[in-house]
Structure 1
Amino acid sequence: MINYTISGNDMQVLILNLQGGDKIYAEPGHVVYKDVSVKFDMKAKGGILKSISRSLTGSDFFVAELEGPGVSTMSGFMPGKIIPLELNNNSILVEHTSFLAAEESVEYGASLARLSAGILGGEGLFMARFSGIGMVWLHAIGGLVQLNLAEGQEVQIEASHLLAFDEGMQYGITRVGGLKTMILSGLEGEGLFFVNIKGPGRVFMHAVSRLQLAASLLKVLKV
């Protein structure tokens, strides 16, 4: 496992101490600095077909690949917490803008959930998929909210707050409310779409959504 530390409080930085031969990949734009000894390249992780499937989720076609020895650091684009998750032959589904970095041994693909009868209302949901063995680092805006759902336990998560959840859980997206809800929700769009998720498994959420943050800034700036 790659040696790492997480520094900071409200605006955290991931510090990776790469040994010779250690490789990680990250979403482009998140690297803060690196030692000159750390090699940097842009790759189509997993090949052309997997890169195309990832692009359907909104992710970049190419990822940044960094190889040790040396130190490399990266951070999210907004205040929040860095979430380290270790995979051990399991998979996790992630909202693509929440991905920060992962070890080379972790597979990076995409998943489209089909609504199953009884939980969801007819639409699917595109998510990035990470599987295999190794570390994945995610970024939660504002802070992390985590639920550990029991067998059969269901929750509805406002869609823009969804960060990640264990693969194998039943899930899908449903619309809530009508025209009045759309008008009252305003720019934030809050309440229009919820993601239904059924346990068992872990669910990770942003404490603050990008839509909420953008709307608040617009009000302050009076744009």
Structure 2
Amino acid sequence: MSDEIIDSQETAFGKVEVLQYPALSGSSDARSAESLFYVSQAGMRLKKVRITLPAKSSKVRFEPGALYYMHGDLEIKASTGGGLMRGLARKAFTGESLFVNEIHGRGVIYLEPTFGHFLLVDLDDDEITVDKTMFYAGLGDLTIGASINRTVAGLAGGEGFFQTKISGTGIAVLFSPVPMSEVQVFELNNDKLSVDGNFALMRTKGVDFSVEKSSKSWVATSVSGEGLLQTFKGTGTVWIAPTQGVYDKLATPSGLSELAGPPGARSTNT
């Protein structure tokens, strides 16, 4: 059985596809087979990203260690992604690597497989701000930098002072904590979105991020049980992952028992 294409984006720069393996069943090691059984029962599937470059002038950049294999007239080059100072700032502020690998030429590239999830975002002279370490690869003319959260909004909201900013034209490949089917997309038109927790994945240019009280007064906020809310205002798109906190709790020893309790008795913060 061939790999299944579960997501795809194509531009003049090339094509990016997310491939999903059929159920794995070839292990000759009993311990590996046991792990594969539980992974299969949970519905998890191994995935990898395939990138097709159509011309010698084409290029894709990706995080170090992400390359799996490639075929064609292709050459790997190391880059700071816009200069040494930009690379140092990206590493210091966002957690991304100082050096990024670029592959130039014509051919097909496969990136390392994972049981995790990928989001493909098509940018057309646009800009998105994403959680730190989400950037995995970029096809086309993209710039990766740092976005500064104003005042103490990022620290109070759990995002930190810096996030990753991706701008330009091309396809951004992002590593996601949840599958795309569990991501909710909100289109804001001079509107406001409030989130109780830090499970907002990304936002487009034109949407401002801040942290606000859940009620008008500090007294009401302190007794409401909601505390501070991540707030997104403006015109643009916001992606959130409501199930992210559920998976994080399930990974803890007491997570299942907490999730079995009344919803109001647990926090949605991750």
What corresponds to 1:64 in structure 2? Answer: 101
1:41 to 77, 91, 105: 77
1:22 to 46, 58, 64: 58
Structure 1 position 219 matched with structure 2 position 253: yes
Amino acid at match of 2:144: Y
Amino acid at match of 2:52: N
CA contact (8 A) 2:121 2:173 kept: yes
Q: Distance in 2 between matches of 1:169 and 1:219?
A: 37
What corresponds to 1:165 in structure 2? Answer: 203
Instruction: Please state whether the residue corresponding to 1:97 is helix, strand or coil.
Output: coil
CA contact (8 A) 1:109 1:129 kept: yes
Residue deviations 1:110-156 (CA, integer Å, cap 9, x gap): 1102149xxx5986631111112222121222223122223222222
Determine which structure has more spread, i.e. the larger CA radius of gyration.
2
Structure 1 position 132 matched with structure 2 position 171: no
Identity %: 21
Q: Distance in 2 between matches of 1:7 and 1:122?
A: 36
Q: Distance in 2 between matches of 1:72 and 1:87?
A: 21
Q: Distance in 2 between matches of 1:194 and 1:75?
A: 36
What corresponds to 2:121 in structure 1? Answer: 85
> What is the aligned residue count?
204
Q: Which of the pair has the greater relative contact order for Cα pairs under 8 Å at 6+ separation?
A: 1
What corresponds to 1:185 in structure 2? Answer: none
CA contact (8 A) 1:150 1:199 kept: yes
TM-score (norm 1): 0.75
Q: Distance in 1 between matches of 2:236 and 2:47?
A: 27
Q: Distance in 2 between matches of 1:32 and 1:206?
A: 28
What corresponds to 1:188 in structure 2? Answer: none
Structure 1 position 148 matched with structure 2 position 190: no
Aligned pairs for 1:197-208 (under 5 A) are 197-206=232-241, 208=243
Q: Distance in 2 between matches of 1:170 and 1:41?
A: 36
Query: Structure 2 stretches of 5 or more lacking a match?
Result: 1-11, 22-44, 215-225, 255-270
CA contact (8 A) 1:141 1:208 kept: no
Residue deviations 1:181-219 (CA, integer Å, cap 9, x gap): xxxxxxxxxx8875321132111233543x764553343
Amino acid at match of 2:204: D
Residue deviations 1:148-172 (CA, integer Å, cap 9, x gap): 223222222521x232110221103
Q: Distance in 2 between matches of 1:88 and 1:31?
A: 26
What corresponds to 1:73 in structure 2? Answer: 110
Q: Distance in 2 between matches of 1:113 and 1:121?
A: 5
Amino acid at match of 1:96: K
Query: Structure 1 stretches of 5 or more lacking a match?
Result: 177-190
TM-score (norm 2): 0.63
CA displacement at 1:48 relative to structure 2: 1.1
- In structure 2, the CA distance between the partners of 1:121 and 1:11, relative to structure 1 (3 Å rule), is closer
What corresponds to 2:260 in structure 1? Answer: none
